[in-house]
Chain A
């Protein structure tokens, strides 16, 4: 437990992602709204970190900061020791909506990052029907979508689309994988199925993952480290480990240790809401 969330014992040089006293404010209706107050966090390469908290606490803001979609009002965001945007880093991102392009087949959707991101983009024309195609198909079969490559997004169910969206986020071997509530819109059974798939993807490929969720069970099931955030102003109030053995199973989520962890996270969030 370390409220500053600097990851105990992790040196700046070792961190893949570091936020140093970052705050984000924007103008809303004439007055300044603080989306994120002075926040610091370090994330080690290969780690799986979850950000949990009520809506409006700035969880997604942190993701957008790290991907460079928005800029910090003050403070610094470092990625691999450089300020964000200074050096192209491969980032994969999956959102709450699958956001697949409706005019492309599932396979072409999955291959989209290869078309855009260097060094793949230079080879895209040459390899789109050979190596890259196999790469996309391998990922699709790993998430249980073998044989669906030729289909179009509207022919698939929500859970299947979200799996394809995970494939798209991973196809270019990103150093950093950002997940913005990717399972939030799914039903309970599909969600648990996708947790297992996500865990397997992480264990086989070892990207650094930053997961934003409001599902405490999801955070405890998937992540190594869970940061609890509070709203208005958004900031990190707790940082704890989820030290369960892998691969984790749904059954494990009923063990006393697991339940105790989610219970504690819940209490923290409720206490923060009461205080605010």
Chain B
């Protein structure tokens, strides 16, 4: 956080009667070091760059891939400070207010793909640096759809891509076997190849001979997201206008999910719920499949625990889709935009994204990173049969290549929440009919967005 001129004001406050406490305030704030510096920077000047992010980006030195210290070693005049918030929603809520007031901003701010369409709207986009003005930037360095999502209507590119979330299917081979289904990943993928409705049909087969207490998939919301992410039209049209009500993609995803609920194929769980019923159900084996974006693999592993090692496997999805991923944007409020942009580019460079992948399994959005052998040849021995670890690198990299870009809009996230949480989950938990649930969704979208 920048603090130029604020130390002086803090001193005025101190004089104004709160002497002790204000002195302590300034004493305790560790962000003064670039406050006293001028706006100009030369290469020899010591610069502190602040990077704001959420959850785990894996850059830092203590829990991450030590990229910050690596960069600091390459650029001795630069010191990097991370401003991390665990919850992505909390992070974004406060970031919006900070952007509006142009204060409290870090040099680099991470933006989740769910919010990027909001960030490229004129009001917020004007607060970010245009990467097209940055030396050495080429949008082609990233997979085709990645930088497109961060490009405004006027052609400004506000962010560089970190990771992506190509989505496969994680499944319990032991349950599949009990239900008389194949267990080999290729054969499993062949069951539903090319069409999500085949996936639901497999669910019906599974249910007929399923082990007791095991549903086919974890949640209608997870199924909906997976189906929709592979559709060419989603919530919005090319102009970012909301068309969810007439979108074929939304209809396909909704109908399949509603069908799965009606036929009892879902475990009626809510992903990432607060009472941890969902994460606990991995361990207790309440469902046989879960849509698996690359970042979900680690969750499946930790939630299921070592006792279930070898029971999970990963297969190609019916259709390729992307779920998740983020960008790094540089704020215009930054006093060192050139240095900040250079850092953002470096962090999203091929070599660095490979290092993050190796540490956390986040799939690189940088093409060079994606095709890197270190990514391609990665296997995960928690998944797959003994002696035949799942080729996670290959599966996700292949999926990533075949993802088709879909237009996005600023209200996508809101509609998605309403559909999955107030529509499908309501059907699962309260037995609401599909028609009623859909009219509830429409009423709520109208209330919130006015369309």
Do A and B assemble together?
no
